[in-house]
A and B are shown apart, each in its own frame.
Chain A
Amino acid sequence: MSGAQGGDLNRNPPRPDRLDHAEGASVPLRSHVREAQPRGAVINGNHPIDQAEAAERFIAAPEHERMHDARLWDLRQKRDRQMHGIAEWEDLRRLASEIKEHALTHLDHYLEQFEANARANGIHVHWAQDADEHNAIILSLLRDHSVKRLIKSKSMLTEECGFRDFMAESGIEVVETDLGERIQQLDDEAPSHVVVPAVHKLRSDVAAVFARTLGTDPDDDDVHYLTEQQREKTRPLILDAQAGLTGANFVVAETGTFVVCTNEGNADLSANTPSLQIASIGIEKVIPRLEDLPVFVRLLSRSALGSPITQYTSHFRGPRRGGELHVVLVDNGRSERLGMEQFWTSLKCIRCGACMNTCPVFRRSGGLSYGATYAGPIGLIIDPTFNRHRYSSLPFSSTLNGSCTNVCPVRINIHEQIAGWRKVLAETHELPLMKKVMMREAGHLLSHPALYRAAIATADSALKHLPRFMVYNRLNTWGHGREVPAPPRQTFHEWYAKNRPTGQGEPT
């Protein structure tokens, strides 16, 4: 810890031509070719998802792959620039991790504290064991208030719960108010990324979806036009909805507050316009004190999008005058995960998506190729907790290069957990034969640090330009035999070996 002194607020002023807010790209990017949008993984009952197959189809659409890769890499670079502007960055990551680990090891206490404080402020608190109970609680609230239409902001938890499909079957209209999420809803597709849900689509894909569903001009794929059309079409739906639903990024036990971060202000519209307000919140979101909150707010948007803060950071501590506020605390497997010795720290995740943006497999295969609610590195370590069989091959969609672990704002050892899942799945016989062979090689490699380091040479420094080596090496079935390894460059360990101050021993 570097003490209480912070960095210079005037260091690294932004370039005037580069407004680094929201999820805006900092370099000019645009698609030039119209190309059919590759779709996600084939879902076949409880059969294991074949991520490799879906990824191949994504790669076979070069314009989509190029744009996807470039956009996410730009977000990663924006994140790095923000990190360099904050002298205490590593202190913040350590604090965030420690606060979360404390909260999770005292989770029952802080949940009860939050509940008591929220109730004292006039919030109705409900508890749901699983997706079904979550959906049933909300449906009964909506029925009690004769709600016909619900407006909502983005929430991964409601994706987990299959909320939209359930409400459609129950005759309640649900309107997503986040632009990316709305695009995905209108296209009847899941979000492909936790922060930028339609990042796998090109402007021409969006123009086609809007032409089909909103009646816009199919030949006009100007982004300002499309965004404005969506604003105009969604606004009337917001104004006469009877209920609004949000998720939450953080929950403060001490004050009974929940916090929602958005760039569009759509959560505030959803929460503040109708008289019935509901928030769906995973039980792992709770942090103890108000003074813990800035640690996370400072890290979240910088890690996610490379912007200093989301445009809106909204704090709800009680109902509005004349309104009603309900919070549904949802378990849905989290309390089980808490008991998994190797994997419980995955509950620290704040869903920033930084691990996705940096992952060479994710960038080149698209979030929908994972066929699960959570894609990318974080998905690999939590999806198997939902369904070990169906998601049994996902932990192999990784190069284990460790870049995800390096960028994670709450310091989850993501790549080690991915390796851990490979072992667990092998032991519980959830492995296809091909992967068993791979496992033996991987196990050998992982148990020999020097070999492992040789294998990951190029991984981080060359992450941008040479992901192919890692993506297509022999540890990963889906790139098998397709590419030759790229020439290695200097890794940290190589660099350290040459430059270490004492000249003795390996770094530990």
Chain B
Amino acid sequence: MSSREDILARVRAHKPALERPLPQVPFFDPPQGTDLLAAFRTAFVQMGGTLPDCGPDDPLDVARAMVAGMPVSCSRVPEIRGNRVLTDDTPPASLADIDIGVVRASFGVAETGSVCLTEVDLQVNTLGYLPQHLIVLLDPARIVSNLHRAYQRPEWRSMHYAVLQSGPSATADIEGVLVHGAQGVRSLRLFFIPAPNG
């Protein structure tokens, strides 16, 4: 018998013969009228994310200026230009010298301040990790209330890779001292910019 058959046979022989029905999972929606954008902002900052202060300026201009100030930049969004072009075949490790990356999130989650980035948003998945800094554009109309709602989204059933990023790479493995940029990006900056085609 193969290991697969052995394991499954042992599981069948040993699994407890108990009635354990699968429960319904409620959505635990927040009260009507909850300000999802405000909740998202609070949670995103709590997770160590940065919401640059744009003052009276157009947030796109602020983001563009940030990108322009970096030697190597790579943008996946039409609104902002970078100087490093990705193709489907770009080797993942070759993104290591990028100073700043720009991506648009598929959606955000108010409960945890998370943004969902998929293999389509990133094109090359290491764009989410190897650049020193990452800028994320998020359409404020695409914020779901909590993780129960987030997992109703279609991305999970179609993408091979999708991540909820909540703030930058962080560690506190030494004496609990929090340091950003353990292995991945040192900062995660977010701008609320409506998607061009709604």
Binding site for B on A (CB under 8 A): 1, 3-10, 13-14, 19-25, 29-31, 67, 71, 74, 88, 91, 95, 98-99, 101-102, 104-108, 111-112, 121-122, 127-129, 133, 177-180, 183, 196-199, 201-203, 206, 223-224, 226-228, 231, 234-235, 238-240, 255, 257, 263-266, 268-269, 272-274, 283, 288-295, 297-298, 307-322, 329, 331, 335-336, 338-339, 341, 344
- B18–chain A nearest beta-carbon distance, Å: 6
Residues of B within 8 Å of A, CB-based: how many? 87
Closest to B188 in A: A311
A133 to chain B, nearest CB (A): 6
Taking CB atoms, residues of chain A closer than 8 Å to B112 are 308-309
Q: How many A-B residue pairs have CB under 8 A?
A: 321
Question: Given A105-B20, A108-B12, A294-B151, are A264 and B169 also a contact pair (CB < 8 Å)?
Answer: yes
B147 and A264: CB pair below 8 A? no
Q: Specify the chain B residue showing the minimal Cβ separation from A252.
A: B156
| Chain B residues, CB < 8 A from A133 | 3
The 25 sampled A-B contact pairs (Cβ below 8 Å) are: A5-B31, A6-B27, A8-B30, A8-B31, A9-B39, A9-B145, A19-B46, A22-B171, A23-B176, A24-B172, A101-B20, A104-B20, A105-B16, A202-B175, A263-B182, A264-B171, A268-B125, A290-B151, A291-B152, A309-B47, A311-B165, A318-B161, A338-B11, A339-B16, A341-B16
- CB 8 Å contact bits of B102-128 with A (1 = contact, 0 = none): 000000001111100001000001101
**Is A178's CB under 8 angstroms from B173's CB?**
yes
The residue from A196, A228, A265, A316 contacting B129, defined by CB atoms under 8 A apart: A265
Give the residues in chain B near A298, CB-CB below 8 Å.
111, 146-147
A320 and B161 contacting across the interface, CB-CB below 8 Å: yes
A298 and B14 alpha carbons, distance in the complex (Å): 30
Please tell me if B29 contacts chain A, counting CB pairs below 8 Å: yes
Chain B min CB distance to A282 (Å): 11
- When the two chains form the complex, which single residue of A122, A201, A264 contacts B184, counting CB atoms closer than 8 Å? A264
Minimum CB–CB distance for B128 against chain A, Å:
7
Binary interface profile of B, 141-153, with partner A (CB < 8 Å = 1, else 0)?
A: 0000111101110
A197 and B173 within 8 A (CB)? yes
B15 touches A105 (CB 8 A): yes
Report whether A269 and B183 are in contact in the complex, using a CB–CB cutoff of 8 Å: yes
Q: Which of A3, A22, A228, A291 contacts B178 (CB 8 A)?
A: A22
What residues of A have a CB within 8 angstroms of the CB of B35 in the complex?
Answer: 10
Distance in Å from the Cβ of A432 to the closest Cβ of chain B? 30
Interface pair B10/A6, CB less than 8 Å apart: no
Cβ–Cβ < 8 Å partners of B4 in chain A = 127
Verify B48–A19 contact, CB threshold 8 A: yes
